[in-house]
Amino acid sequence: MMFVLVSSEILPLDCKDLRDNGYTNTGVYKIYPFENSSRPVRVYCDMITMDGGWTVIQKRIDGSLSFDRNWTDYKNGFGDPAQNVWIGDRMLKTRNAKTVLSGMYFSTPDRDNDGWSDRSCAAYSNKRGGWWFNACHHAYLNGLWSSRYWLNPWSPTVTSATFVTETMMLIKRH
């Protein structure tokens, strides 16, 4: 009697699925985060940091791509995953509406959701970019790149914007 193991390729939901299935090189991969598997998304996967499997949702290596974008751009994502990228806030699938990010709503120059009634932080002339603002602050990852407006960006660890050479936001399922 002969047994044949037939396996169908499971489409990876995120970088953790790739890592769990033996992919160990950091770089750009296709994942299938939507229920409709015919819509792959190219993402940057960090396969090294803390056991790997991290999906990069924001990455900036220089100021060549403007993050001063409208709501639709942030929703759909933009950029090149190997360089400068925003993955899109609709990529994150939650099981129920109560598991959304806590804190402030996301704001863009054309959609003010911050906690400051006097102005829109995302549209403010020396900020310009989408973020989870409360009352505007000195540093955020989607603002003007290495801006002179980043005053003590992450004090006391980083006290000058000249020390910031790259930014990344990563997520990973447990």
Q: What is the pLDDT of residues 49-68, one digit of tens each?
A: 999 999 999 999 988 999 99
The reply to whether 64 falls in a domain is: yes
- Are 30 and 52 in contact by the 8 Å Cβ rule? The answer is no
> What integer pLDDT is reported at residue 22 of this predicted model?
96
Residue of higher predicted confidence among 131 and 91: 131
- The mean pLDDT value for 139-153 works out to 71
The reply to whether 2 falls in a domain is: no
The reply to whether 40 falls in a domain is: yes
* Residue 55 to residue 127: CA distance in whole angstroms: 26
The reply to whether 6 falls in a domain is: no
The reply to whether 5 falls in a domain is: no
Share of the chain above pLDDT 90, in %: 41
- The mean pLDDT value for 102-116 works out to 81
Q: How confident is the model at residue 93 (pLDDT cuts 50, 70, 90)?
A: very low
- The mean pLDDT value for 108-119 works out to 85
Q: Which residue has the tokens 């997520």?
A: 171
Q: What is the CATH number of the domain that holds 55?
A: 3.90.215.10
Q: What is the largest CA-CA distance in the chain?
A: 77
The reply to whether 126 falls in a domain is: yes
> What integer pLDDT is reported at residue 92 of this predicted model?
45
The reply to whether 25 falls in a domain is: yes
Number of structural domains the chain divides into:
1
Q: How many residues does the chain have?
A: 174
> What integer pLDDT is reported at residue 166 of this predicted model?
87
Q: How confident is the model at residue 152 (pLDDT cuts 50, 70, 90)?
A: low
Burial of 103 (0-12, 13-18, 19+ CB in 10 A): exposed
> What integer pLDDT is reported at residue 126 of this predicted model?
65
The reply to whether 9 falls in a domain is: no
pLDDT score of 95 more than 80: no
Q: Which domain holds residue 73?
A: 15-93+102-171
- Mean pLDDT taken over the chain: 81
